[in-house]
Structure 1
Amino acid sequence: MIIERVYAHPAGDGSSAAGPYSEEHWPWSVPCVRELLGDGLRFTAPVTFLVGENGSGKSTLVEALAEGFGLDPWGGSHDWRYAAHRPKSVLGELIRFDAAPRGRRMLGNWSARKGFFLRAETARDALDREGFAPDSVSHGEGFLAAFRGKFLQPGLYVLDEPEAALSFSSCLELIGHLDQLAATGAQVICATHSPLLTALPGADIIEVGDHGLRRVPWPDLTLVDHWRRYLTDPQSYLRHILG
């Protein structure tokens, strides 16, 4: 493990550039962000999945976590900040870590810090700028090539919906890469909508929503239940959508 707990450390005056830390102001109005101001989030496994509906705050959470660790908030590693002109987010400025020994060494020494922030909408550009997006391949193949060629060292890998560009079989390959990455001593924190990825054995799954953050076994995930029922009987859903 590299990071054992993440939390938001409030400024002394109880306010930020986005306003007071109250539920009336974003991002503090997002339940999962409110939890960071309280107990924070503990990590109990080398691979952690954050799942939830759009707008639940999981992407806000992983972006702030990546920023706090020193990774490029627009996607990339700590030593290549192609979007460095973007100001740090309000939440990213407040992120703090309780780190394991390896994590403390990384946080205390910039040259020892290893990791990557992969966000779906900017991944190809970030990988290309760092020399890991080969020409003449599809978007999804470029993703997998990056995992094969760059995601190798023990470090913190933060992923935001990596399944967006991947087929079913490519998602299965990604599961294998995540498992191998964790076996090297790396830590992976991934926001996802994928029931395939979250089925990785041994992964910790946290459901994000109006309730905040809660750990849920894979079979009990809302997204797994919806996919199971949809694949069994698509019309039970489509009759409410189609005229």
Structure 2
Amino acid sequence: MLIERAYVDLSEEARAESGDSWPWTVPCVRRLATDGLKFRAPVTFLVGENGSGKSTLAEALAEGFGLDSYGGSAGYKYASSREPSVLGQAIRFDATAVGRRMVRGPRTRRRGFFLRAETAFDVLGRARLSGAPEEMSHGEGFLMAFREKFRQPGLYVLDEPEAALSFSSCLELLGVLHELRRGGAQVVCATHSPLLTALPGAEIVEVGEHGMRSVEWDDELALVDHWRRYLTDPRAYLRHIID
């Protein structure tokens, strides 16, 4: 692992001014600012409803590590006009020895990739891949990036990578994540996918009005419970929507 804990470093003045403004009003960000976020496994999944703050948190972690907030590899700027977020500028890390050499060294020493669903196709078009992403579907382009860019030890932050992937492609991504952690990399992934979060040995952090909490996939994760109930009896959900 590279990062053992993420926390927010704000001056007293900045902390006083941030209390009633976004993103500090988001419960998971407020929890991060007060208690920090510990990483207990090489792969961490952030789950929660739309608007819960998981993407905000993922982007800030990427920025704090030196990954471009627009998306892309460490050490390069694909979107120089995009200003770093307030939260991303305030993120600090308690890192392992390997992680400290990346975090404290020059930007070009850092390794990793930030993949966000909204900008992934543009970023992949600028990346050096063996094929041309514009000639592929979004899912094929994603998988090519996973195979070719997700290889060496570093921090890989993914924001809803399942958006363009089929069931079988999600399984392939699981294999990539498994190989990354075996090779010494660390992954933080914001997702709505019960398939991805089933990766054995991964930690699942559920974000919401409660802030953040670690949950178990089978017993406590709400999205798994909802999918299981829906697939068992779709009408139990659909009757409230289409009747």
Interval of TM-score (by shorter of Structure 1 and Structure 2): over 0.9
1:31 aligns with 2:30: no
Match runs of 1:1-243 below 5 Å: 1-15=1-15, 20-22=17-19, 24-110=20-106, 111-132=108-129, 134-135=131-132, 136-219=135-218, 220-243=220-243
Distance in 2 (alpha carbons) for counterparts of 1:64 and 1:193? 19
Deviation at 1:134, TM superposition (A): 2.6
The one-letter amino acid of 1:120's match is: A
Q: 2: CA distance between counterparts of 1:44 and 1:201?
A: 13
> 1:172-218: per-residue Cα shift (whole Å, max 9, x none)?
11000100011100000000000000000000000000000000000
Conserved? CA contact 2:3–2:93, under 8 Å: yes
State which drifts further: 79-88 or 169-178.
Answer: 79-88
Cα separation, 1, equivalents of 2:104 and 2:199: 31
Q: Which string of whole-angstrom CA distances, capped at 9 and with x for unpartnered residues, describes residues 18-62 of structure 1?
A: x8221x321111110001111100000000000000000000001
Q: CA deviation at 1:133?
A: 7.4
- The amino acid across from 2:17 in the alignment is P
The two structures have a TM-score, normalised by structure 1, of 0.95
Q: Structure 1, unaligned stretches of length 5 or more?
A: none
Partner of 2:101, secondary structure, is helix
Which residue identity is paired with 1:242? I
Quick check: 1:80–1:130 contact (8 Å CA) kept in 2?
Answer: no
Q: Which runs of 5+ in 2 are unaligned?
A: none
Write the distance in 1 (CA, Å) between the matches of 2:113 and 2:195. 22
The separation in 2 between residues aligned to 1:92 and 1:34, in whole angstroms, is 14
User: What displacement does 1:13 show?
Assistant: 1.1
Query: How many residue pairs end up in the alignment?
Result: 239
Preserved CA contact (<8 Å) 1:78 1:113: yes
CA distance in 2, matches of 1:198, 1:158: 15
User: Residues 128 and 134 of structure 1 are in contact (CA less than 8 Å); yes or no, is this contact kept in structure 2?
Assistant: no
1:112 CA drift (Å):
2.2
1:13 aligned counterpart, secondary structure: helix
| d(CA) in 2 for partners of 1:70, 1:122 | 17
Identity %: 67
